[in-house]
A and B are shown apart, each in its own frame.
Chain A
Amino acid sequence: MKHKEIAEVLSQENIATDIYSMWLKCPLVAAEAKEGQFISLYCHDGSRILPRPISICEIDKENGSLRIVYRVAGKGTDEFSAYGEGEKIEILGPLGNGFTLQPEKSAMLMAGGIGIPPMVQTAKQLKAEGCKDINIVIGYRNAENFLVEELQKYGKVFIATEDGSVGTKGNVMDAIKANGLQADVIYACGPTPMLRAIKSYAIETGTEAWISMEEKMACGIGACLACVCKSKDIDHHTHVNNKRICKDGPVFNAMEVEL
């Protein structure tokens, strides 16, 4: 069940240029959240009317809190980045379907840039459920990276950088080739070109791949039909091969969607 809840900022930290990590106390949403889902955050400034959908980076069920790691990409996220401890913010969540984990199979988590945060909870939960083989392949622009040490707690991390300053020069696909990586299941989040490359790789190698997508959203719950993507099969809402990213996704089987 989704909840509208007043969350309280427990802490906020600037962890890289324009990248912020925020812990929110929100017991109702945290109790039901799972890896790969997202929350919507409403701005205090009323001129910004739409909530900002942001992926869940980490869940602490015992403490009733969630962590989001986000990039300042406009005025809304800039507003959030100024929030200090104790600030109240209205949120809606948990939203979307999230990843369905298969801990019995070897896993490769692939993410780029601001697609990396949801991999923290995904890796943490996979490990908690006994997954023995977790490779995490992440791409950055340059040496200024984030969340690497945390991800290393849950699996073996391989880095790609566009400028070659750390790890493999290039993108996550270059990193899996350079390191000879493979797995039974891919869990991925990142920009569309990256997801497209992962889909091609998945087809070539017969690997199962689950990808998390994004699009501009308004309602966040499947009513407004703003955030659709083209799907192979007929969608159950409109029957026109348009799946709703906020409701039917954001996680899709790579074979299910057109990229």
Chain B
Amino acid sequence: MNTRVNIAGVEFKNPVMEASGTFGSGMEYSEFVDLSKLGAVVTKGVANVPWPGNPTPRIAEVYGGMLNAIGLQNPGIDVFCERDIPFLKKYDTKIIVNVCGKTTEDYCAVVERLADEPIDMMEINISCPNVKEGGIAFGQDPKAVEAITREVKKYAKQPVIMKLSPNVTDITVMAKAAEAGGADALSLINTLTGMKIDIHRQKFAIANKTGGMSGPAVKPIAVRMVYQVANAVNLPIIGMGGICNGEDAIEMIMAGATAVSVGTANFMNPTATIDTIAGIEAYMKQYGIEDINSLVGLAKSF
């Protein structure tokens, strides 16, 4: 049975990664998960300089999901290259570095710095709802999406994944803009902007007032958007949003994703990534599926 998938020329041993921001650079989860079993490790967003992130509380649970407004706390690209990349190179897995920035120049500085690093792909975060500058400001206007994609591509030596926001009227417009800008792949969805009010304390549950919603409750939205985007562009898609197990992953793959990311589920179960891989294999065995690629976008034929 074949679980290998290829995205923009990069071959992954299986289609399971984890979603940026839920897994650090893998160090903490390596106590529970053999990182070499994963298709790839997608790092937490890294900027050109350290970012302290938002005030606490940064998270709140909601029914079937959670809100977060971490604010992209990260050590900056220098520490990241010295510490996190050598750590990940010890494992037999692909490395996808998530890149964040406040300005186009910030993004390009990180992408340029990563050009000669031994990483496999870059994921450009133009969809974080929790930072005032950058992030989503680039992800809600098709002209801005195309422009940032084109700029980043000038500096990138590795294939570029553009990470799209669901907080738009029509995500296919953004997907087409990223494709026009030269993106090699797309990942979706980032979190959905939400809010929770603590009625007993009469306060917002998180200090940032709004936060990005993730978790099992958002999966139907993510599946729908992956399906729409898969029908609109000719780019490989990494699908994410509420994936907790093999069945969820298969559903996302049928919707049109070539690979999937397990995000919030890591908090629900520290071995969610490898459990998802096992679940995919069990499904393939149950239905006699020889090649995972035969399931990609199968929903188009329903």
Contact = CB atoms under 8 A, between A and B. Distances in A.
B165 interface: no
B52 interface: yes
Nearest to B265: A49
B142 interface: no
Interface secondary structure of A, over-half rule: loop
A50 B267 contact: yes
Contacts of B22: 219, 223-224
A2 B31 contact: yes
A238 B28 contact: no
A52 B276 CA distance: 23
Interface string B54-87: 0011111101111010100111100100000000
Contacts of B44: 225
Given A49-B66, A239-B79, A221 B53 contact: no
Interface stretch (A40-48, A162-170, A182-190, A199-207): A40-48
A239 B57 contact: no
Contact of A239 (B31, B70, B76): B76
A237 B267 CA distance: 19
Contact of A216 (B31, B59, B63, B73): B59
Contacts of A50: 59, 61, 66, 267-268
Interface residues of A, number: 33
Which residue of B22, B27, B57, B270 has the most chain A CB atoms within 10 A of its CB atom?
Answer: B270
Contact of B68 (A2, A46, A226): A226
Contact of A1 (B31, B51, B266): B31
A228 B28 contact: no
Interface string A92-125: 1000000000000000000000000000000000
B131 to A, nearest CB: 14
Interface string B21-36: 1111001110110000
Interface in A195-232: 215-229
A89 to B, nearest CB: 14
Given A227-B56, A240-B51, A218 B32 contact: no
A216 B55 CA distance: 12
Interface in A71-96: 92
A132 interface: no
B268 A215 contact: no
A221 B31 contact: yes
A18 to B, nearest CB: 14
Which residue of A92, A222, A224 has the most chain B CB atoms within 10 A of its CB atom?
Answer: A224
Which residue of A49, A50, A242 has the most chain B CB atoms within 10 A of its CB atom?
Answer: A49
Contact of A223 (B29, B64, B79): B29
B215 interface: yes
A238 B50 contact: yes
B14 interface: no
A220 B31 CA distance: 13
B271 interface: yes
A1 B269 CA distance: 17
A216 B52 contact: no
Contacts of A215: 56-57
Contacts of B52: 238, 240-242
A51 interface: yes
14 contacts: A2-B32, A4-B269, A42-B269, A49-B64, A49-B66, A49-B264, A219-B28, A221-B270, A223-B23, A226-B58, A226-B59, A237-B75, A239-B76, A240-B73
List the 5 shortest-distance A-B pairs measured between CB atoms, nearest first: A223-B24, A223-B28, A240-B52, A226-B59, A216-B57
Interface of A: 1-2, 4, 42, 46-51, 92, 215-229, 237-242, 247
Given A50-B268, A218-B267, 15 more contacts: A4-B270, A42-B268, A49-B264, A49-B267, A50-B66, A216-B56, A217-B59, A218-B59, A223-B27, A223-B28, A224-B68, A226-B57, A228-B53, A240-B50, A240-B73
